[in-house]
Copies of this chain bind each other. A is one copy, B any other.
Amino acid sequence: MLSSELERFINEDIGEWDDSSTIVPDVDAVASVITEEDCVIAGLSEACQILRHFGLEAEPLYNEGENVLTGVVVLFIRGNARLILQAERLVLNFLSKMSGISTLTRECMMRVSRTSGNVRVACTRKTTPGFRVFEKKAVFLGGGDTHRFNLSDAVLIKDNHIKILGLADCLRRAKLQTSFTKKIEVEVENLDQMLEAAEIGVDIIMFDNMKPFDIKHGVELLAERGIREKLILEASGGISLENIEDYASTGVDVISMGFLTKNAHWTNLKLDIKKKSKV
């Protein structure tokens, strides 16, 4: 996290004149962040960066991405009580939001692994504006794949591109104009498009909003033609905890889900403070 970004986040939560803090005297305190439900913990490094920016000592007790049970201390804090109270909400927001996403990602991974050990679960660009890098990182910590961070990361030719230019023209132009360092992916809506893309040659084919049955059929078709291995295959569109196993069993390499970032609930966590005892 850039320090300018960090300051922006802190500023958002504190505002111009925090009266609540001015009432708290300079007392030393210790505080613990405690889980209130089982989760895959994420956001600890961000939490520590925030706390240290306030001049507080912060000691994470778990590695990010670890499974943590309810009622466990994940982060221990030491320092000025007023500053702990100022940092509290932002620290909890980072941990809760990110752990929620990591936990849901892990859950999806486990469902998938029952069916197929090698399928990756990826997120999408459906993320909260301004918070993408943290949501993607939470997916990564949960065991998922970050997919593209932005439009510059790889070329993804989507339905709306094809409506404007046609598939063949999109691919011709992409190959001509794009750096050799980038992969080219095409979103297809049916098996004709899939075959057209595979014949012209692409790195990745995404089955967009297609039924598992059709996707499976597509994968077989590519295998028959001997081009399955040259391609990475991705299923996307409307995939959730309910149907993820159906997609995992189609033979694709990757399942991508807006669901991971759009439907993840926040993990419940609390911060307990107490005045430092004098011994």
Contacts and interface: CB of A to CB of B under 8 A. Distances in A.
A19 B130 contact: no
A113 interface: no
Contacts of A254: 180
Total identical chains: 6
A273 to B, nearest CB: 5
Contacts of A17: 133, 136-137, 146, 149, 152
Given A14-B150, A181-B153, A165 B23 contact: yes
Contacts of A120: 180
A138 to B, nearest CB: 12
A259 B173 CA distance: 27
A144 to B, nearest CB: 10
Interface residues of A, number: 96
A15 B161 contact: no
Given A17-B136, A152-B18, A126 B165 contact: no
A209 to B, nearest CB: 10
Q: Is chain A's binding surface mostly helix, strand, loop or mixed?
A: mixed
A43 to B, nearest CB: 10
Contact of A13 (B2, B125, B154, B253): B125
Interface stretch (A85-93, A104-112, A212-220, A241-249): A85-93
Interface in A122-173: 122, 125-134, 136-137, 145-158, 160-161, 163-165, 170, 173
Given A131-B128, A163-B275, A273-B160, A152 B3 contact: no
A152 B253 contact: no
Given A14-B151, A181-B204, A182-B183, 10 more contacts: A19-B152, A20-B174, A23-B165, A85-B164, A96-B262, A147-B181, A149-B152, A163-B275, A180-B204, A180-B232
Which 10 pairs across A and B sit closest by C-beta, in order of nearness?
Answer: A15-B152, A15-B150, A23-B173, A130-B130, A18-B151, A262-B266, A19-B178, A154-B181, A9-B129, A160-B273
Interface of A: 2-5, 7-9, 11-25, 27, 29, 31, 81, 84-86, 88-90, 92-94, 96-97, 120, 122, 125-134, 136-137, 145-158, 160-161, 163-165, 170, 173-174, 177-183, 185, 204, 232, 234, 253-254, 258, 262-263, 265-266, 271-275
18 contacts: A8-B130, A12-B132, A15-B153, A16-B150, A17-B149, A17-B152, A23-B174, A86-B151, A97-B128, A122-B179, A130-B131, A147-B179, A147-B181, A148-B179, A148-B181, A149-B152, A262-B266, A263-B266
